[in-house]
Structure 1
Amino acid sequence: MSWLLPCALLSTVLTQTSAPETTVVAPKVPTPLSRTPAAVSVVEGEDLQEARPTLGLYEGLVATPGLVVQSRNNASQDLRLSIRGFGARSAFGIRGITVLVDGFPETMPDGQTNVDSLDMASAARVEVLRGLASSLYGNAAGGVVSITTEEGPDRPFVEARTVHGDAGLWKLHAKGGGKSGDVRWLVSASRMTLEGFRRQSGTEQVQVNGKAVWRPDGGSELMAVLSLVDAPEAGDAGGLTRAEVEADPTQAAPLNLSFRAGESVRQGRLGLTYRRRLGEAHEVEASGFLALRRFQNALPSVVVAFDRTFDGVSVRYGNRAPLLGLRSRFTVGTELQAQADRRKNFDNVEGRPGSTRQLDQDEDVTALGLFAQEELELRERLTLVAGVRYDVSRYAVTDFLKEDGDGTGTRTFQQPTGRAGLIWAPRPEVSVFASATQSFETPTTTELALLPGAGGGLSRELKPQRSDGVEVGARGLLWGRLRYDVALYAVRVRDGLVRFEDENARAYFRNTARSRHLGAEVALEAQVTEGLRVRAAYNALQATFRDYAPRGRQLRGRQVPGIPAHQVGAEAMYRHTSGALAAVEVFSAGGLYADDANTVREHTAWVVNARLGHRFPMGPFEVSPFLGLQNLLSARYSDHVRVNASRGRYFEPAPPLTVYAGAGLSHRW
C-alpha cells in the first residue's frame, strides 16, 4: 500500500465542482467534515429505515469501511461492533468503542456499552468516527459511533408500521411528531417478538422513545430525550463446536440449554441538554442524564443480577475569537459520570436464581474527564487541530460475602491522552489529512472479575490497554458523481486486553504485552444515474501480536483473534420517481481466527441481502409496503465467533435464507 495514495487522489479532484458542506457531530462538537482530521462515515435515515425490519444498528452499516459487525442474532449477548480491531474481544455488548445517542453516552464509565434501548425506526443519522478518540471521549474510545434520532418535522405526522418474518419475527412500531410553536417533538413506541433460528434464542422487547427540542430564539436550544425499554426475554443459545454446527446449526449448546441461559432487562433514561450562544464568539453547553437499569443474566452454573444507576453531567465552553490574528475555535470542558451496581450472583436453578449466593457486592465506578481542543487555521484552507484530555477513573467494591475472602477494595486509573492533526481542504468536500492520536481502555467491572475461588473484589493484575496511532487520509468528489474516502493507519497497542473462557464458558481477561494494527480503508459511492446509487467499502487490517506469551508460549507474529484480515461490503440501490425502491447488498463474513494461537479459523463467506419497497398515496394517507430477503444464498457462516472459547465452542451459526415483509401507513397534516 502506498502512503501517497490519498495525496494522489486529492490532486486529481482539485478542479472538480464542490458539493454542499457536511457537518458531523462525532468529533465532540459540530464540525464541517472539511475541517475534521479524522476518518468519518455518515449513514442517513433513509438508508437506516427504508424497507428494513429496523431490528438493530447493524442494518444500514454494510458499506461502512473499518467496521466489523457480529452477534446480530443473539439479543442476550447483544450486538458486537469493532472498529479497526478495537472491540473485537468483547465478551458481550460493545467494548472499546464509545457510543452516543443524541450526544448522551450509551457507554458506561467502565467502558462497556449495550444498545438495547435504541430503536432504529426513529434514527435520523449514524456517524462512525474510525480511529482513536480518547482525547475527545476518554475511556474506551478506539472509535466512536454517534446516533442522532429524528426531530419533529414542520408538518405534524403519525405513522404505524408492522413487520412479520421467518423465525417468528413480529414487530409493531408507531411514531408521531410535529412542531408546536418553538418546540419540535417526536414520540416512538414499538413491540417486537422473535422465536429465533436456534433453540434457546427467542427474544421479546418493548421500547418507548421521545425527544423534544425547544428553540425560543436563534441563540439557544433546550433538548430533552427519554427512552424506556422492557426486554423480559432474550435467550442465549451459546457457542457450538465445528462438528455441532455441521450436524445441526439450530441446536443450542448443552449447558446453555440445561441452564436456560439468557437475560432480562428493564431500563429507563432521561437526558437534558442546554446550548446557548453568547454573542458571535462564545458558546456554552451543559447536559445531564440519569439512567436506571435492572438486569438479570442466566449463565451456565450462575445467575448474575444487578440494579444499576448511571448518571452524569458535562459542561463545555467554546470560543471562536481570533488567536494571533488567525481564525480559531477553542473548546474546553469537563465530564463527570458515575456508575453504581448492586450486584449479586446466585447458583443457576433452571434459569432462575437459586438459594446459594456466589457473589454479593456493591460496585461503583466514578469517571472524571477534563479536555481542551484548539482548531487553528494556519492559512486559508489549512487547519491545525490539537487536543488534550486527562481522565481519572476510580473503581470501588464493597464485598458483603466474606466466606471466601474479603474482596473489598479500590483501584484508580489515570490517563492523559492527546491528538494532533492537519487538514487541508481546498474545497468543502475535497480534503486530505494527517493525524496522530491516542486511546486507552480501562478494564470493565466484568473484566476485573476474579476466577472462581478467588473471592469477590477486583483483579489487581489486570492493566488498562493503551494505544498510539498515526493516520493519513483523503476524501472528495470526482466528476460530481463519485465520492471517495481513503485512509491508511498504524496503531501500536500495549497491554491489550484478551478474552478467554473457563470450563463453564464464563469469560475472563488477561493482558497481552504488545500488538500492532496496520490497515487501509477505501469507500466509494457513485450516483450512476438519477435513481441508481452504488456504494462499496474494503478494509485490509493486519493485527498481530508483537510480544505475547501466555503460559510461557510465545505468540509473536500471530494474528489477533476476532479481527478479519480483509472485509468487503457493497450495496446497489435504485429509487424510481414513482416511489419504488430496490436494493441488493453483499458483504463478507468470517475470515478470522478464533484463538490466540491461530489454530482455529472461521472461513470467509459471502452474504447477500435484498429488499424491495414502494411508497404511494392512498387518499390522505401514504402506504409503504416492503419485502426483504436476508442471506439470499443461504451462506453458512458464523454470526459470532467467541474468541478463546472453552471446549472448542467458538461458533454461533447464522440463519440461512429468511424472509420478512411489512407495511407502513402514515398521514401528514
Structure 2
Amino acid sequence: MQCKAFNFPIQMTLLGLTASICQCLYAETGSTEPVLLPTIQIEVTRTDTAWLNTPASVYRIEPDKNQNNVGVNLTETLKGVPGLQLNNRENYAQDLQLSMRGFGARSTFGVRGVRIYVDGIPATMPDGQGQTSNIDLSSLSHIEVLGGPFSSLYGNSSGGAILTTSKEGSGQDSIELGYSAGSHNKNRADVILQGGAKNAGEPSYVVSSSYFDTDGYREHSAAQKVLSNTKLTWDLEDGSKINWIVNHVDIHANDPQGLTREQWKANPKQVNDAKNIFDVRKEINQTQTGLTWSKPLNDQHEIYAMAYAGQREVTQYQSIPNTAQANPRHAGGVIDFSRDYYGTDLRWTGKDLLPNTRFTAGLAFDSMDEERKGFENFDANGNYGVKGDLRRNENNTLWNLDPYLQASWTFLPAWTVDAGLRYSNVHYQSKDHYIKFDADPNKNNGDDSGKTDYSKLLPSIALTWKMTPEFTSYISYAKGFETPTFTEMAYSANDGMNFNLQPASSDNYELGIKAQNVWGNFTAAIFQSKTQNDIVSAGTENGRATFRNADRTLREGAELSWNKALWRDLTAQASYSYIDATFDAFVPEIANPSDPTKPKAVAIPSGNLIPGIAKNQAFAAVGWQPETGFNAGLDIRYMDKVYVDDVNSDVAPSYTVVSANAGYVWTQADWKVRTYVRADNLFDENYIGSVIVNDGNGRFFEPADGMNWSAGFSVTKVF
C-alpha cells in the first residue's frame, strides 16, 4: 500500500525508533532466562486470544481506585490510549467528544463513527449515534478499546470500538459508601453493594448507584446526574453463565454552548448568550436492561446469546431566535423525542473442528423506534426557554440484521491468519405527521416521509507472525462502512429529510508489532484509511446543521505505547499518536439559492486538514499504587492544535496539562477506608478542551477548566 505518511520526517524517525526498540527487546529476551508474565486476555475481537497474539491495536484498561479519580466520565479512565482522542467539553448537556484515528471527529454532540458497548449491550444505535452517559465507573471492571481494521467486525460506524464491563460480585457481602467534593461545588456520592454466590444456582451481585451535581466551570453549566447499575451473575452447574444487567441514568444539565475566539479571550467562563435569555438546557432519562448467556456444549462447541431493550427520552432547549423559526418548514427550537430500542446477538463458536482452527458464526439484530417532535422555544409573549407550538412530529424507525463470520487458523507454529466477513445493512424509515398546506406555497410544510436502505459487505483479514514467545508482528486489512445518522439526515436544502446522503466506505490497513517481556508491554503501529463519500458538513440551514459527502478523505499515521511495573508498586506508562487526516480531493461549494453571493457550503481544497483532529498527542504517567498505605500519581498530556472547520479558518491552540493525585488506604479486619486528593491542570493552563466543528455561527470553542481540585473518601465494610 502507498502511505503518504512515510514522506514526513517524523514518521521516518518513529519507524527508526520502533526498529531500534524492537531490536533491543528481541536481543534482551533472547539473552535472558524466560520470565513468566501475566496473560492479558482480550474479549473485544471474539477470538479468545491473548493481547500479545491479537492482530489489532487493542488495549485493555483495568481501572484502579488508587488512581484517585472522581468517577464522573471516561476522560478520567481512558488516558493515554493511542489513537483515541477523548475530550471533556466541560458541558454535561453534551456527551464527550470521542474519535478513534479521526473517525467520529465531525460530531458536534454525542458519539459518531465509534461503536460503544456496555456489558455487551450496544450504547450505539443501528445508525451509528451513541453516548457514554450510562457507563458506571463505580462498578467498572475493565475497558477494552479496539482501533484499526479489526473494528469492522462490529459493522456500521465501527471506526473503533469501546467495550466496558462491570464487575461481577465475589467473596463475602460488602457495602461501600463514598463521597467526593471539588471545585465549582462539585459533589458526588455513591453506594456499592456486592457479594458472591453462596450456593450453586444462586446469583452473585453488584448494585451500584451514584448522585453527582456541580455548578459547573462556566456560567450556566450546572448539572445533576443520577446513575444506577445492577449486575447479577449466575454460574450454573452445566458450565453455562448468565449475566442480567439493569441500568438507569437521569441527567439535567444547562448548556453554556460554544464561544467565539473573541468571547473566549475576553472571558472563558461566560455563557454564549450573555443575558441567558434562551436558557439552553437538556434533560435525559434512559433505562435499559439486557441478558447475556454463554454455554459450552462440549470441548469444541460453544453458544452465546444476548438480548436487550431500553428507552431513552430527551428534551433539549436550543438558542434559536424566533426570526429563524418564522420559516414554516423550520422544526423549532426545542427537540423532544422518546426512543425505544432493542436487539439481540446470537453466535456459535467451534474450536479445532479442523486442526488449529477456530470458527465463529453469528447474527446481530438491532432496532430503534423513535417518536420525535419539535416545538418553538418561545411562548405567545416572546419569552424564550419554554415549550411553545408544535413544529415537527415524526416517527423514525431503523433496524439492521447483520450476519457475520470469523475464522482463525494457525497454519504453522508461529503463523496465524484471521479472517472475518460481515454483511452490514441498515434500514431507515421516517413518517411525517406534521403536514400543513396554505394558499401561499411559501408557507407549506409538505410531507417529508421517506425511507432508504444502506448495505455493505465488510471483509477483513490479518496475518500474525509470532517471532518469539515475547514478540509478535502483524499486518491487517478491512473494509469499513459508516451510514449517516438520523440526526445528520434530518435537514437538507429544503428542510426535509436528506435521503440523498450516501454512506461512507473505507479501506483500512495496519502494520503493527507487540512485545511483552521484562521491559514491559510495548506496541507500535502504522496505519492508513482511505475513505470514499466521507460524511462532512454542508453548512447550516436556518440554524440547522446539514451534511454532504466528500469524494475522498485520507487518514494515516503511527502509534506507540509502553507500560511497565518498574519496581515494587511503581508503574509507568507512555504513549504517542500521530495522525495526518486530510481531504484527498476537492469538495465543491454548494450554492445558496436565497443569496448567491454567500454559498451555503464553501469549497474545500484538497489537502485541507479534517477538523476536530489533533495531529500529535502524547501522554506519560507514573504511579505508586500499593493496595494499602500511601499512593500517588502524576501524569502529563499533550494535545496538538485542532482546526475548527473544513476550510481551516481557525484553530484551537495546542496545550500541555499536568495532573497529580495522592491518597491513603487503611484496612483493619473487615473495614477498608480510602481517602484521596487530586489536582487537575496543575499549572492553570488556559486552553480549549474541545471544538464544535463547523459551527455555523463561529462559536467553535469550548474552554476547559483551569486548575481544579477534588478530594474524597470511601468506607467499605465486609460482612
Could you say which residue in structure 1 is the equivalent of 2:327?
A: none
The range that moved more, 28-37 or 564-573, is 28-37
Structure 2 residue identity aligned to 1:299: Q
Could you say which residue in structure 2 is the equivalent of 1:421?
A: 462
Q: Does structure 2 retain, via aligned residues, the 8 Å contact 1:34–1:428?
A: no
Give, in whole Å, the separation in 1 of the partners of 2:495 and 2:627. 65
Alignment of 1:438-449 (within 5 A): 438-449=479-490
Give, in whole Å, the separation in 2 of the partners of 1:215 and 1:17. 33
Matched, 1:379 2:409: no
| 1:154 positional shift | 1.7
Alignment of 1:160-559 (within 5 A): 160-180=177-197, 181-182=199-200, 183-217=203-237, 219-231=239-251, 233-254=252-273, 257-301=276-320, 302-323=333-354, 326-349=355-378, 352-403=385-436, 404-426=445-467, 429-451=470-492, 454-456=494-496, 458-478=497-517, 480-499=518-537, 502=540, 506-551=544-589, 553-559=603-609
Give, in whole Å, the separation in 2 of the partners of 1:336 and 1:407. 27
| 1:211 positional shift | 0.3
| 1:497 positional shift | 1.2
Q: Does structure 1 retain, via aligned residues, the 8 Å contact 2:149–2:476?
A: no
Secondary structure at the residue paired with 1:447?
helix
Structure 1 residue identity aligned to 2:318: L
| 1:133 positional shift | 4.2
Q: Does structure 2 retain, via aligned residues, the 8 Å contact 1:90–1:499?
A: no
| 1:520 positional shift | 0.3
RMSD over aligned Cα, in angstroms?
2.0
Give, in whole Å, the separation in 1 of the partners of 2:42 and 2:627. 29
Give, in whole Å, the separation in 1 of the partners of 2:433 and 2:503. 27
Alignment of 1:16-35 (within 5 A): 17-35=35-53
Per-residue CA distance 1:464-501 (angstroms, 9 max, x = gap): 111111101111134x1422111111110111112365
Secondary structure at the residue paired with 1:586?
strand
Could you say which residue in structure 1 is the equivalent of 2:75?
A: 58
Give, in whole Å, the separation in 1 of the partners of 2:417 and 2:150. 16
| 1:588 positional shift | 1.6
Give, in whole Å, the separation in 1 of the partners of 2:654 and 2:219. 25
Give, in whole Å, the separation in 2 of the partners of 1:596 and 1:212. 47
Give, in whole Å, the separation in 1 of the partners of 2:389 and 2:586. 38
Task: Say which structure is richer in strand.
Answer: 1
Q: Does structure 1 retain, via aligned residues, the 8 Å contact 2:67–2:632?
A: no
**Sequence identity, in percent?**
29
For structure 1, the residue ranges without an aligned partner over 5 or more in a row are: none
Q: Does structure 1 retain, via aligned residues, the 8 Å contact 2:491–2:545?
A: no
Relative to 1, partners in 2 of residues 1:428 and 1:647: Cα closer, same or farther, differing over 3 Å?
Answer: same
Give, in whole Å, the separation in 2 of the partners of 1:429 and 1:638. 41
Secondary structure at the residue paired with 1:561?
coil
Secondary structure at the residue paired with 2:705?
coil
Per-residue CA distance 1:619-664 (angstroms, 9 max, x = gap): 6421111101111111111111011112321101011011111100
Structure 2 residue identity aligned to 1:306: F
Could you say which residue in structure 1 is the equivalent of 2:441?
A: none
Could you say which residue in structure 1 is the equivalent of 2:614?
A: 564
Could you say which residue in structure 1 is the equivalent of 2:715?
A: 665
Which residue of 627, 642, 650 corresponds with 2:700?
650
Give, in whole Å, the separation in 2 of the partners of 1:578 and 1:225. 31
Per-residue CA distance 1:410-446 (angstroms, 9 max, x = gap): 0100111111001122555532111001211100000
Secondary structure at the residue paired with 1:306?
strand
The range that moved more, 211-220 or 383-392, is 211-220
Give, in whole Å, the separation in 2 of the partners of 1:131 and 1:290. 29
| 1:35 positional shift | 3.2
Secondary structure at the residue paired with 1:496?
strand
Give, in whole Å, the separation in 1 of the partners of 2:640 and 2:263. 18
Q: Does structure 1 retain, via aligned residues, the 8 Å contact 2:467–2:473?
A: no
| 1:585 positional shift | 1.1
Q: Does structure 2 retain, via aligned residues, the 8 Å contact 1:165–1:658?
A: yes
Matched, 1:144 2:168: no
Give, in whole Å, the separation in 2 of the partners of 1:430 and 1:570. 23
TM-score by length of 1: 0.95
| 1:30 positional shift | 3.7
Alignment of 1:616-655 (within 5 A): 616-618=666-668, 620-655=670-705
Q: Does structure 2 retain, via aligned residues, the 8 Å contact 1:590–1:604?
A: yes
Secondary structure at the residue paired with 1:34?
helix
For structure 2, the residue ranges without an aligned partner over 5 or more in a row are: 1-10, 321-332, 437-444, 590-601
Give, in whole Å, the separation in 2 of the partners of 1:128 and 1:200. 34
Q: Does structure 2 retain, via aligned residues, the 8 Å contact 1:133–1:144?
A: no
Give, in whole Å, the separation in 2 of the partners of 1:338 and 1:502. 29
| 1:553 positional shift | 3.0
Secondary structure at the residue paired with 2:335?
strand
Structure 1 residue identity aligned to 2:453: T
Select the structure of larger CA radius of gyration: 2
Q: Does structure 1 retain, via aligned residues, the 8 Å contact 2:450–2:499?
A: no
Give, in whole Å, the separation in 1 of the partners of 2:366 and 2:512. 33
Q: Does structure 2 retain, via aligned residues, the 8 Å contact 1:7–1:432?
A: no
